[in-house]
Amino acid sequence: MPVLGQGTWRMGENGTRRNAEVAALRLGLDLGMTLIDTAEMYGSGGAEVVVAVALAGRRSEVILVSKVYPHNATRAGTLEACEHTLRRLKTDYLDLYLLHWRGTVPLDETFEAFRSPTQAGKILDYGVSNFDAPDMEEARAILGGTEIATHQVLYNLARRGIEWDLPFSCLIINELRKIVTDAPPNDI
């Protein structure tokens, strides 16, 4: 799993910027940034369209991540949203499909919904995004929760809240499925 990737939040919102957005993603790929993160909500699917253009002929070079809206995270809604995402991205699979944030749909229903496209090869792994510590503990405790491949959190130089909000037991580091549990910082 790459340590650094490219995000597409705010892409696909303005058609006059499409060429620049595509060029930025391609430059990132050329520089070795092979993880691209997008979501159905970014530009109302427009970011996924930008990513598809940028990835033309290069899909095999990329770890492609997208996210489902919480209100689409029902059994039927997840499958439909996944199909729409795959069409917009012009690909037949996602490397990782995430629940964008916790919503009102029970987590066990969402995780069950992730199994069908996983078994069909449409998503290789699934995970969650923007969960707080109690949500993460609940997710790991339910059926399907042990299959969570990653927990993506908002973290950058300006937004460092996870340093205070999430205990080490919830941080996932270095590779998929490696969860640090109750490890003191000096042991990592």
Of 121, 89, 115, nearest to 11 by C-alpha is 89
Give percent of the chain above pLDDT 90.
66
> Which pTM was predicted?
0.85
Domain formed by 6-187, architecture: Alpha-Beta Barrel (3.20)
Q: Are 52 and 43 in contact (CB under 8 A)?
A: no
pLDDT (tens digit per residue) in 49-107: 999 999 999 999 999 999 999 999 999 999 999 999 999 999 999 999 999 999 999 99
The rounded distance, in Å, linking the Cα atoms of 29 and 157 is 22
| Domain boundary assignment for the chain | 6-187
Average pLDDT over residues 155-174: 61
Positions marked active-site? 42
Q: Does residue 151 have a pLDDT over 90?
A: no
Retrieve residue 169's tokens: 């037991």
